Chains A and B, each alone.
Chain A
Amino acid sequence: MTRLTQGCFSLLPDLTEDQIKKQVEYCIKENFAISIEWTDDPHPRNCYWEMWGLPLFDMPDASAIMYEINQCMKAHPSIYVKINGFNNARGVESTGLSFIIQRPSFEPGFYLTRQEGKGRNIIYTIQSYAVQSAGEGARY
């Protein structure tokens, strides 16, 4: 079985709710705004997952953030959900932490197509079994 290993913590056993909350608290302490994102197309080059509302700016309450996280997972129970901590400090202005918190129970993963190019050059394309086999919303 494949396991998507993007971001942070993806080689650890799936994080528990308590572990996720501790990371949320870390983000609050670091002044990161948390955003929740979901997708059923986690292609390595798909950098725009769907947003669960806006990033939670000015939200110092970990429980309130956990509520939104759980709502998102409830609405999308069998696909990928990740949370990002956005750091707007000067000199960073980018994501400070990002990790997957939910994934499908079966991850069919990706395959490589190889097109013979000039000489021995191969043009590679990474394609998703799930995306190839079903339309959006019916993939997992």
Chain B
Amino acid sequence: MSDASERTRIKSERYESGVIPYKKMGYWDADYTVKESDILCLFRITPQPGVDPIEAAAAVAGESSTATWTVVWTDLLTACDVYRAKAYFVEEVPNSTEEFFAFIAYECDLFEEASIANLTASIIGNVFGFKAVKALRLEDMRLPYAYLKGYLGPAAGIIVERERLDVFGRPLLGATVKPKLGLSGKNYGRVVYEGLKGGLDFLKDDENINSQPFMRWRERFLYVMEGINKAAAKTGAVKGSYLNVTAATMEEMYERAEFARELGSIVIMVDLVIGYTAIQSMCYWGRKNDTIVHLHRAGASTYTRQKSHGINFRVIAKWMRMAGVDHIHAGTIVGKLEGDPNTVKGFYDALRLPYLKENRAFGLFFDMDWASLRKCMPVASGGIHCGQMHQLVHLLGEDVVLQFGGGTIGHPDGIQAGATANRVALECMVLAKNEGRDYLENGAEILKDAGKSCGPLRVALDLWKAITFDYASTDVCDYESVPTSASS
């Protein structure tokens, strides 16, 4: 005589207990019609030897949405087909035999509104350690309009920041105080004053300057504000310095941010390592307190740089625009840090454009409307100098903060001279660009001419003329760039 539990066993083949392939569980649907409200992901998958790419894609869809490794009857208590993510297209990665691109669609209701933490807990939660894939990289995401409307985005962003600073028509200029560590508060403020007086818009704390024994944070903030205000009076221009409020706890970060605001700072800074939730909190704080929020992408290269595994930085850039940072470090192309030109242009597009068009040469795989979220200001920092100004203006455009740390403070005639050299180099290049000159071709000559009436620029050009960082990039796009007509 059988007992009740045996008699009520589920008869449907799909729900027979045991293990069935993910693609048979409903996580693969080649005929799926993408909904406008779906969140779309593009993964680069390297399946383990012998694993079918479609099964690998379905497994990624399953593990990043509703699935576990075996069949569960409790699925039947839900409208489970809606909640299952669906891999709907798989293609080979150009020039690779073992990597595949997998497109996966997620129902919008799988995610809590306006929570980067919740979004990422699903999309990058467990699945990156999944044994059936040898490596996995999240390459791009299409966030739907309806979902984006839950986010506030940058409170200031490019446009409002420019209005607050009253600087239009040229990149902003910054510099990071060097040495990164060890200066006392009073000496630190000196660097800020000199740089701003020389012509920069911003100075900046480095990512690892928080509150160490050689300089506690209050000391730094007080002296930096003296430097800022004195430079503002000397130049008649609005000036700022990113005060890094990164700390061990939210309570401590709020305390530091409140103090920065009390002192009249127009900008605070946090590091990416504080985490997505903390970043979102600090952005809400910045919105409430009229303070620009600068994000340093400390730690990002640990998971963004290698091509086969991790997260492409363009996805981080999108998340951070949603979270609401006003500034984010996004690469220099010509400087000392990783950055293939087309890949970096893709990051800049993701941060600055109101609409994204699929452009695989830049690594953009989806059309995406940013739903009026404000534009996030990219920051180019790391190993750049004024002799590269024509390339920087050409590659990065106008809406960017160009940050010369060593390239300001390392000037033989002092920080002010370094700052002036950078500002004059920038302004002469923008002037030439607007005049319609071929400034890229004639950059060196334009700089040399400007140097005739600017000693600091002449000295800087002479010192750094031969410095380049020509190393092959690890993170490059898979598609060749195709020439497009001027109208497209």
Query: Interface on A for B, CB 8 Å cutoff?
Result: 2-13, 15, 19, 22-23, 26, 42-45, 47, 84-85, 90-99, 109-112, 120-122, 124, 126
Is B182 an interface residue, CB under 8 A from the partner?
Answer: no
Is B167 an interface residue, CB under 8 A from the partner?
Answer: yes
- What separation, in Å, do the CA atoms of A126 and B231 have in the docked complex? 10
Q: Provide the residues of chain A in CB contact with B166, threshold 8 Å.
A: 6-7, 44, 47, 98
- What separation, in Å, do the CA atoms of A43 and B232 have in the docked complex? 10
Is B175 an interface residue, CB under 8 A from the partner?
Answer: no
Count A/B pairs, Cβ under 8 Å: 115
Interface size class of B (residues with CB under 8 A): 35 or more
B225 to A124, Cβ gap below 8 A? yes
Known: A23-B431, A26-B434, A91-B354. A44 touches B424 (CB 8 A): no
Interface residues of B in 208-265 (CB under 8 A from A): 222, 225-226, 229-230, 232-238, 262-264
Is B411 an interface residue, CB under 8 A from the partner?
Answer: no
A44-B236, A98-B168 given; 9 more Cβ-contact pairs under 8 Å? A2-B236, A4-B235, A11-B423, A19-B435, A22-B434, A22-B435, A26-B434, A109-B233, A126-B233
Q: Provide the residues of chain B in CB contact with A10, threshold 8 Å.
A: 427
Q: List 24 A-B contacts (CB under 8 A).
A: A2-B236, A4-B235, A5-B236, A7-B168, A8-B168, A8-B170, A8-B430, A12-B427, A12-B431, A19-B435, A22-B434, A23-B435, A26-B434, A44-B236, A44-B238, A47-B166, A92-B159, A95-B162, A95-B168, A99-B169, A109-B234, A110-B233, A112-B229, A124-B225
Q: Provide the residues of chain B in CB contact with A126, threshold 8 Å.
A: 229, 232-233
Q: Provide the residues of chain B in CB contact with A44, threshold 8 Å.
A: 166, 232, 236-238
Q: Provide the residues of chain A in CB contact with B199, threshold 8 Å.
A: 5, 11
Q: Provide the residues of chain A in CB contact with B235, threshold 8 Å.
A: 2-6
Query: Interface on B for A, CB 8 Å cutoff?
Result: 159, 162-163, 166-170, 199, 222, 225-226, 229-230, 232-238, 262-264, 354, 375, 420, 423-424, 427-428, 430-431, 434-436, 450, 453-454
Q: Provide the residues of chain B in CB contact with A7, threshold 8 Å.
A: 166-169
**In the complex, what residue of chain A is closest to B201 when comparing beta carbons?**
A5
Across the interface, B236 reaches (CB within 8 A) one of A43, A84, A92, A94, namely A43
Q: Provide the residues of chain A in CB contact with B427, threshold 8 Å.
A: 8-12
Which interface residue of B166, B199, B230 has the most chain A CB atoms within 10 A?
Answer: B166
Please give the distance in Å from B175's CB to the nearest CB on chain A. 15
B434 to A4, Cβ gap below 8 A? no
Q: Provide the residues of chain B in CB contact with A22, threshold 8 Å.
A: 434-436
Which interface residue of A12, A42, A109 has the most chain B CB atoms within 10 A?
Answer: A12
- What separation, in Å, do the CA atoms of A110 and B436 have in the docked complex? 36
A6 to B236, Cβ gap below 8 A? yes
